[in-house]
Structures are given as structure tokens and as C-alpha cells.
Amino acid sequence: MQTELFREMNSNPPPGQLSETERQYLYDQVKIIGPRTVLESGTWYGGGSTLSITRALHDLGTGGVLHTWEEHAPFHEVAQTFYAASDYSASIVLHRGSFVDGVSAADDAFLADVSMANPGGGPFVLVHSTGSDGVDRVDWSLVRRDVEVIRVSPLTDNMLDWRLAAERAQEVHCVESSFHVLVDSLDLPGKPLFFHTKLRTRYARHRTRPAWAWV
Ligand SMILES: C[S@@+](CC[C@H](N)C(=O)[O-])C[C@H]1O[C@@H](n2cnc3c(N)ncnc32)[C@H](O)[C@@H]1O
């Protein structure tokens, strides 16, 4: 039996490459995760994964947008025409060109603008001082004060938005938290990283990259 989603997707859209099950899975995942931004490499004609993601974002109604790239102009144009005339036009931006080039060039646009927290745009240190219990566990005597101090606070609804700030900071201070795990996953060669574990709990014994100074 075909689902409503599959029937609708096959009523008039351009060709797509996913099976019914794959479309439904992708649709459900987007509905569950509720992303603000989705990036896709390879729109093709736009009737496959692109449509599942866009339809889910549209149905969520939370303003999430899919950015999809297609480097082959004829494919892009078919998809562009379809979505411009569809109910989903507010939930998708179609880019013509290479995904890698596009995402690299637009990187800042997909991440929180650090100027939200750093209006002067000068050098800064990034400090995440509290875990979920709200207790400040940073040894502030170790934090540089000759530059601005920016504290990670939920300026956006997506922790990944802080990646850019971590990359640009002169140094990063973290306590035990998911934010530390995020920073630990980044490639930040030469950047001073401080892991404030003085008041650590038994949960702090996981491995981290060697670059962190445990203080
Ligand atoms: C497998 S198809 C995409 C299928 C589509 N997502 C769907 O579900 O129907 C791959 C598409 O990616 C495009 N493509 C490949 N490499 C790309 C890149 N680096 N940037 C943008 N598009 C790319 C190809 O032109 C092709 O149209």
C-alpha cells in the first residue's frame, strides 16, 4: 500500500531516486530532528531526497530551510522551476554549482554570526563555564583578559552554531559538557584549549584529544 507521502510525491514532481521506504524514512527523520538548516549535495531533478526533506520542513512549520546544490545546470533548472511553483518554496533554496565550493563559501551564513556576541569583531576568548547544572566550574584566573571574553550561552537553538566561534577564538575554555565534546571534535591546530576539570565528576574520564590542557 502506498503512503500518502509517496502518492503525493509521485503525482507531479520531477524524477527522484529514492524508494518509498527511503523517502518515508528521510521525511520522518527530518520531522523528528526538526533542523533549522539542512544542506544537501546533489539535487538531481529534485524529486527524491530533496522533496522528502523539503516536505518535512514545510510540514514542521518551524521555518527550517533546505539548501541543496546541483552542479549540472539542466537538472538544477528543472528542480528550480518545480519548487518555485510549489507550496514548498519557502522551505528550500536551490543552488546551482558545486556543493563543496558552495558550502565553503557560505560557511559563515550557516553558522551563528559570532558578531552577535562579539560586535567589535576583535579578538576574543570563548568560555563555556557551566554544565547543565548551571554551576560555574571555570578557573577564571586562567582565562586571558587582554581580549574580550565571550561566554557560550544559547544565542541560537543549535549548539553547532558555536563551531565558528570556537574556530575564531584566541583560546577556548570548557567545562565538562556536550560543548566540550563539540570543540574536541574540531580540528583546531595550535589553539590553546583548556578543559576545566578541577571540580570534575566521575564522568570526566573519557578520552579527549591531546591538545587540551586539563586544569
Ligand atoms: C545521485 S544524484 C542525486 C539524487 C537526488 N538527491 C535524489 O534523491 O533524487 C547525484 C547528483 O549530484 C550531483 N552532484 C555530484 N557531485 C556534486 C557536487 N559536488 N556538487 C553539486 N552537485 C553534485 C550530480 O550532478 C547528480 O545530479
pLDDT at 186: 86
Q: Based on the domain organization, do 148 and 205 belong to the same domain? A: yes
135 pLDDT tier (thresholds 50, 70, 90) = confident
What does the alpha-carbon distance between residue 121 and residue 84 come to, in Å, rounded to a whole number?
Answer: 37
Q: Based on the domain organization, do 95 and 118 belong to the same domain? A: no
Dump pLDDT digits (tens) for 30-68.
999 888 888 899 999 999 999 999 999 999 999 999 999
Q: What's the mean per-residue pLDDT of the chain? A: 83
What does the alpha-carbon distance between residue 69 and residue 163 come to, in Å, rounded to a whole number?
Answer: 22
Q: Based on the domain organization, do 210 and 138 belong to the same domain? A: yes
Positive or negative torsion for Cα 203, 204, 210, 212: positive
Q: Using most ligand atoms within 8 A of CB, pick from 72, 75, 82 the residue to mutate for ligand 1.
A: 72
Question: What is the Cβ-side half-sphere exposure of residue 135, based on CA atoms within 13 angstroms?
Answer: 9
Q: Based on the domain organization, do 181 and 202 belong to the same domain? A: yes
CATH code of the domain covering residue 100: 3.40.50.150
Q: Which residues have a Cβ under 8 Å from the Cβ of 47 and sit 6 or more positions away?
A: 9, 13, 14, 15, 16, 79, 82
Q: Are 59 and 34 in contact (CB under 8 A)?
A: no
Residue whose cell numbers read 519548487: 83
Q: Are strands 124-128 and 92-96 parallel, antiparallel or unpaired?
A: unpaired
Q: Based on the domain organization, do 98 and 133 belong to the same domain? A: no
Q: Based on the domain organization, do 17 and 103 belong to the same domain? A: yes
Q: Based on the domain organization, do 126 and 96 belong to the same domain? A: no
Determine if ligand 1 sits within 6 Å of the CB of residue 69: yes
Candidates 64, 68, 66; CA nearest to 34 is 64
Determine if ligand 1 sits within 6 Å of the CB of residue 98: yes
Number of domains, the chain: 2
Instruction: Among 110, 136, 165, identify where a domain stops.
Output: 110
Instruction: Among 62, 94, 110, identify where a domain stops.
Output: 110
Dump pLDDT digits (tens) for 144-181.
999 999 888 755 656 667 887 888 899 999 988 888 88
Dump pLDDT digits (tens) for 109-120.
565 555 556 666
Dump pLDDT digits (tens) for 4-20.
655 555 567 888 999 99
Strand, helix or coil at 26? helix
pLDDT at 157: 59
What are the angstrom distances between the C-alpha of 136 and each of 15, 56, 177, 199, 200?
54, 39, 12, 10, 12
Instruction: Among 95, 110, 125, identify where a domain stops.
Output: 110
Q: Based on the domain organization, do 8 and 99 belong to the same domain? A: yes
Q: What is the dihedral of CA 185, 68, 112, 197, to 10 degrees?
A: -10
The stretch 180-202 carries a mean pLDDT of 82
- Structural domain boundaries enclosing 21: 4-110
Identify the H or E element spanning 172.
Answer: strand 171-174
Which protein residue's CA is at the shortest distance from atom 23 of ligand 1?
42
Q: Based on the domain organization, do 103 and 176 belong to the same domain? A: no
204 pLDDT tier (thresholds 50, 70, 90) = low
Q: Which three cell numbers stand for residue 150?
A: 565571550
Q: Based on the domain organization, do 76 and 51 belong to the same domain? A: yes
pLDDT over 70, % of the chain: 79
Q: Based on the domain organization, do 99 and 118 belong to the same domain? A: no
The CA-based angle 41-74-11, given to 5 degrees, is 80
Indicate whether this model's pTM tops 0.75. no
What are the angstrom distances between the C-alpha of 42 and each of 68, 72, 75?
7, 9, 10
Give the residue, 25 or 180, on which the prediction is more confident. 25
Q: Based on the domain organization, do 132 and 70 belong to the same domain? A: no
Which protein residue's CA is at the shortest distance from atom 15 of ligand 1?
42
pLDDT at 153: 73
Of 2-6, 19-23, 103-107, 146-150, the poorest mean pLDDT is in: 2-6
What does the alpha-carbon distance between residue 158 and residue 155 come to, in Å, rounded to a whole number?
Answer: 9
Q: Using most ligand atoms within 8 A of CB, pick from 17, 19, 44 the residue to mutate for ligand 1.
A: 44
